[in-house]
């Protein structure tokens, strides 16, 4: 089946008892045993498995072209589980130097930073990456592309090849691209991670994370044990909402991408904007690579306002349609000054604003940005 069809049907069937075409929501925490003490339904307790969560995991595995998926309570829970679950491969993890700031905080502020040896490198530089991976036994290479918020594009196939040569696993965070735009398994990835809170859900009304795995993955059992015994499982209702979101994911991503392209082109022409970071622009450093490994350029972009932090904050504060809020991937366009959010360790330039282009008409988004930028121009 094509992706659009899988997005609607994978993991779901018409309910045999009612004929309902929408998957029932199963909030039950426990399930009945038969007379002999067995569980004929295959379900025992919500932390172990749940019909709604199982459906979501099945659907995500189908969309990414994997064999199994493990759903967690958030994207950060999924990321943490991957770090912990790979431990048998070694405690050295190579990460991008412009890693998602949530991971930087995880390293700095929890025991994860003490339990594992994290090495940061610019993954666009193959020589630097090769040196980092080969400097000592490495268990995991963590790949983010496009990156947050610098919108860098990393060569997934080349990075996976380097990881495998060193005996390491290669894991791709596919949150921003989604399976609609990017197919990490086809490029050599050993696992694919999503914050389903973002484009998978698509409506800014749920929190969940998911790790998708290929057949016979060494990560499946440890991830299942972490999910089950540490209890960071995705709630049934969040899984039900995510399944609802999946049905429109392909068409939403096409609309998001179309809008982002128009917004990026308009921003590039504005005198108050020093730079637009978006791979859909021909002059962007990642344009050619994104064109090879993605089927669209995504809907996330950053732009740098002349005048630094003060000017950027003024522009953000003048917006009337675009909402000044954290997160991304929903119907509403959202903007954020990342340097002030991330603090002193941020790699974001002081004048950078990160923009998640929503599903409003692109011209309305452009008009709002232009009126806000008029004070900086």
Which entry of 49, 97, 155, 173 is annotated as an active-site residue?
173
| Residue carrying structure tokens 């997934």 | 156
Among this protein's residues, is 100 annotated catalytic?
yes
Which entry of 12, 198, 338, 354 is annotated as an active-site residue?
198
Element (H, E) at 285: none
Q: What is the DSSP code string of 25-48?
A: P---SB----TTS--TTS--BTTT
Among this protein's residues, is 198 annotated catalytic?
yes
What number of helices (H) and strands (E) belong to the chain?
15, 12
Element (H, E) at 149: none
Which entry of 12, 100, 152, 368 is annotated as an active-site residue?
100
> Would you say 122 and 147 are in contact if contact means Cβ atoms under 8 Å apart?
no
Among this protein's residues, is 238 annotated catalytic?
no
Q: Residues 6 or more apart from 66 whose CB is under 8 A from it? A: 60, 185, 192, 212, 213, 214
**Radius of gyration from C-alpha coordinates of the chain:** 21
Among this protein's residues, is 155 annotated catalytic?
no
Could you give the CA distance from residue 297 to residue 278 in angstroms, rounded to a whole number? 8
Active site residues: 47, 100, 173, 198
């Amino acid at each position: 089946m094509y992706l659009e069809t899988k997005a609607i049907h994978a993991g779901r069937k018409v309910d045999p008892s009612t004929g309902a075409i929408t998957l029932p929501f199963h909030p039950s925490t426990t399930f009945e045993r038969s007379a002999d003490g067995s569980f004929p339904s295959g379900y025992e307790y919500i932390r172990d498995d749940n019909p709604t969560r199982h459906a979501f995991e099945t659907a995500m595995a189908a969309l990414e072209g994997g064999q199994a998926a493990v759903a967690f309570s958030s994207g950060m829970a999924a990321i943490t589980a991957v770090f912990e679950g790979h431990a048998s491969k070694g405690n050295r993890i190579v990460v991008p130097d412009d890693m998602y700031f949530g991971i930087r905080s995880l390293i700095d502020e929890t025991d994860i930073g003490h339990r594992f040896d994290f090495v940061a490198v610019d993954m666009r530089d193959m020589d630097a990456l090769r040196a980092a991976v080969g400097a000592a036994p490495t268990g995991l290479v963590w790949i983010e592309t496009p990156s947050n918020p610098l919108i860098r594009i990393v060569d997934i196939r080349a990075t996976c090849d380097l990881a495998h040569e060193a005996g390491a696993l290669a894991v791709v965070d596919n949150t921003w691209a989604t399976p609609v735009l990017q197919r990490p398994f086809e490029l050599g990835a050993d696992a694919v991670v999503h914050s389903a809170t973002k484009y998978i859900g698509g409506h800014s009304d749920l929190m969940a994370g998911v790790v998708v795995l290929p057949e016979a993955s060494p990560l499946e059992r440890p991830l299942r044990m972490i999910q089950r015994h540490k209890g960071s499982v995705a709630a049934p209702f969040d899984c039900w909402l995510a399944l609802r979101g999946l049905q429109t994911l392909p068409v939403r991503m096409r609309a998001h991408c179309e809008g982002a392209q128009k917004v990026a082109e308009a921003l590039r022409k504005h005198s108050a904007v020093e730079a637009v970071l978006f791979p859909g622009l021909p002059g962007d450093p990642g344009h050619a690579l994104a064109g090879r490994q993605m089927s669209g350029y995504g809907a996330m972009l950053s732009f740098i306002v002349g005048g630094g932090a003060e000017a950027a904050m003024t522009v953000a504060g003048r917006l009337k349609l675009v909402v000044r809020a954290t997160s991304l991937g929903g119907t509403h366009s959202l903007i954020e000054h990342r340097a002030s959010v991330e603090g002193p360790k941020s790699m974001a330039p002081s004048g950078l604003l990160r923009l998640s282009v929503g599903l409003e008409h692109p011209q309305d988004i452009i008009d709002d940005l232009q009126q806000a930028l008029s004070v900086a121009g």
